[in-house]
Structure 1
Amino acid sequence: MSGTTRHTEPIDVHLVAVREGETGPEVLLSRRAGAVYAAGCWHLPSGHLDGPYEDVVVALVRETREETGVRVDPDDVHAAVTVHHRAPGGSARVGFFFEVRRWNGTPEIMEPEVCDAMGWFPFDALPEPMVAYCRAGLDAYLAGARIAVHFQEPGDPIAYDPKTDRLRLVRAAGSGGPLPGPAAVSAPRPATPEDAAEIVRLRSDFILSEPLDGQWLVICRDHLAQRLQPGGDARAYVLDAPSGGLAACALGLVHPVLPAPKYPKGLAGRIHAVATEPAHRRRGHARAVLAALLTHLESEGVTLFELHASADAAPLYGEFGFISDPALMRMTRIQQAEGTAR
């Protein structure tokens, strides 16, 4: 340590609330007002930690409620980017930017003494003037960066000016060489009947409450292989594991329904299974195969999608627009097959 006093910097949190607008994704911004720093500039709803008892997610949820009136479930808070910022005056801080796409309530001005406007703006038509620190966080977020540095120089304007843009993106781990751990997998590909055994295994091992025995694994494999044939009702996308077998899969079943304005072709798709091998988790594989499957089903004219989600998987499906309907109750009836044990 170079001195006798340990250097500390404040931590703040920023809400990147995203919704789908008429022309594409939009972000919620508020305009600062009154006797505050950067009055008159647009900024993300944000704030500081209240103390050592508060983590950054709890702080984001609290600040969102205090500034916009909406309530956010901590499970709906997703890490966007972290920015190390230095203001023109020389003070520095670390900002955690969080993406939120689901909340309860309608955003409104809750602190009129420090905010005089609030609204939704397309990412490609952000308002001016905007706090340069906020703009740096949004630009880093849109670039897909995990961490960025934004050190302004004395004399730089507080508001964003492209002529004095100090944003520097820090390259992610793996950009200089392969990450430690399992080797990278390939891009998602359409499943073939030959993949049926692996898809059935992943579903049995990691989705079903009671794994299938050997006999039922064979029965399900043969059924799925037939249904993955051209003209069948099964569609699936998979990721191959470098060591053999599958790293992840997403299986959908297409079935007819009576046409309606929201599904004019009378086609519905049930997302039957999304599973990833434990050794390949937390690398975005489930998201990749699900995205590929949904894109394919949409290309076939499917506009109604259904699934049963666990609490752990619900946030992933929420990213793709799936919502729960408390007015609907899931009910099942299983007729005991003749000759089977009760």
Structure 2
Amino acid sequence: MSISGDDAGGRDATGTGPGSISGYGAGSPADPLIRRAVAADVPALVRLRALMLQEMGLVIGDQDAEWRHGAGTWFERRLRDTSRFAVFVADDPELGLVSCAAGMCEDRAPSPTNVSGFHGHVFNISTDVRRRRLGHARACLVALLGWFRDETAAGVVSLNATEDGMNLYRSLGFEAPGFPPLQLRIEGLDERPDTPRAP
């Protein structure tokens, strides 16, 4: 399995740098439990996602925002697909879930460099502001990468690196891909690209 920084929607909001996972949590009130998320964790996963999106500059709205309900439903559905989706969380004894890292396997056409065709996609890396710079995001991401390695056929794992998370990702082996992804938003297009006009 190789890892690279291409097409995912992740962000690490911790600003954590490189370091050994064995020493993570030093200086925290109590080391959290790193575990795989379950259905009961969905509200906290949505909360951490909202934090991540807000820090990316998005207007997230209030607690009743439509996207929150959609995100909760999405997490509930995905968590049932245990062979292709996983979230690892830091469960703090005082604050509950304070950090998370999510990943999924995408089924793509095989290639010489990825014979299985399975591609790991990392996203939703976020940490509560009260527990940052303690290694929690690193611990969650390391656990997630272990899942990709041991329980999936993913040949490549990628994510979108922000400046805050660059040191963390590079310390774990992520590197820039040879062909950077581009993005096009379909919403708002007057017509679909390359669609012939009606006579």
Residue of structure 1 equivalent to 2:34 = 188
Q: Which moved more, 1:282-291 or 1:187-196?
A: 187-196
Q: Percent identity?
A: 26
For 1:293, what is the secondary structure of its paired residue? helix
Match of 2:174 among 322, 325, 332: 322
Deviation at 1:241, TM superposition (A): 2.1
Report the Cα distance in structure 2 between the residues aligned to 1:231 and 1:324, rounded to whole angstroms. 29
Is residue 224 from structure 1 mapped to residue 93 from structure 2 by the alignment?
Answer: no
Evaluate the alpha carbon distance shift between residue 186 and residue 274 of structure 1 in structure 2; reply closer, same or farther with a 3 A threshold.
Answer: same
- 8 Å contact kept, 1:235–1:253: yes
Residue of structure 1 equivalent to 2:12 = none
Match of 2:57 among 202, 209, 218: 209
**Quick one: which amino acid aligns to residue 282 of structure 1?**
R
Report the Cα distance in structure 2 between the residues aligned to 1:185 and 1:313, rounded to whole angstroms. 21
Is residue 235 from structure 1 mapped to residue 86 from structure 2 by the alignment?
Answer: yes
Is residue 257 from structure 1 mapped to residue 108 from structure 2 by the alignment?
Answer: yes
Report the Cα distance in structure 1 between the residues aligned to 2:52 and 2:34, rounded to whole angstroms. 19
Structure 1 or 2: larger strand share?
1
In the TM superposition, 1:22-171 aligns within 5 A as: none
Residue of structure 2 equivalent to 1:333 = 184
Deviation at 1:212, TM superposition (A): 2.7
Deviation at 1:270, TM superposition (A): 0.8
- 8 Å contact kept, 1:187–1:239: yes
Is residue 306 from structure 1 mapped to residue 150 from structure 2 by the alignment?
Answer: no
Structure 1 or 2: larger helix share?
2
- 8 Å contact kept, 1:205–1:211: no
Residue of structure 2 equivalent to 1:135 = none
Residue of structure 1 equivalent to 2:127 = 276
For 2:30, what is the secondary structure of its paired residue? coil
Deviation at 1:232, TM superposition (A): 6.7
Report the Cα distance in structure 1 between the residues aligned to 2:49 and 2:78, rounded to whole angstroms. 16
Report the Cα distance in structure 2 between the residues aligned to 1:255 and 1:194, rounded to whole angstroms. 25
Q: TM-score, normalised by structure 2?
A: 0.72
Deviation at 1:193, TM superposition (A): 2.1
Is residue 267 from structure 1 mapped to residue 118 from structure 2 by the alignment?
Answer: yes
Report the Cα distance in structure 1 between the residues aligned to 2:115 and 2:18, rounded to whole angstroms. 37
Evaluate the alpha carbon distance shift between residue 204 and residue 232 of structure 1 in structure 2; reply closer, same or farther with a 3 A threshold.
Answer: farther
Deviation at 1:231, TM superposition (A): 5.0
Relative contact order: is structure 1 or structure 2 higher (C-alpha 8 Å, sep ≥ 6)?
Answer: 2
**Quick one: which amino acid aligns to residue 212 of structure 1?**
I
Report the Cα distance in structure 1 between the residues aligned to 2:102 and 2:164, rounded to whole angstroms. 18
**Quick one: which amino acid aligns to residue 71 of structure 2?**
C
- 8 Å contact kept, 1:234–1:254: yes
- Matched length: 164
For 1:283, what is the secondary structure of its paired residue? coil
Evaluate the alpha carbon distance shift between residue 202 and residue 211 of structure 1 in structure 2; reply closer, same or farther with a 3 A threshold.
Answer: farther
- 8 Å contact kept, 2:87–2:102: yes
Deviation at 1:191, TM superposition (A): 0.8
**Quick one: which amino acid aligns to residue 123 of structure 2?**
H
- 8 Å contact kept, 1:248–1:277: yes
Deviation at 1:200, TM superposition (A): 2.1
- 8 Å contact kept, 1:271–1:306: yes
For 1:219, what is the secondary structure of its paired residue? helix
Match of 1:295 among 137, 146, 150: 146
Gaps in structure 2 of 5+ consecutive residues: 1-16, 189-199
Q: TM-score, normalised by structure 1?
A: 0.44
Evaluate the alpha carbon distance shift between residue 292 and residue 211 of structure 1 in structure 2; reply closer, same or farther with a 3 A threshold.
Answer: farther
- 8 Å contact kept, 1:224–1:234: no
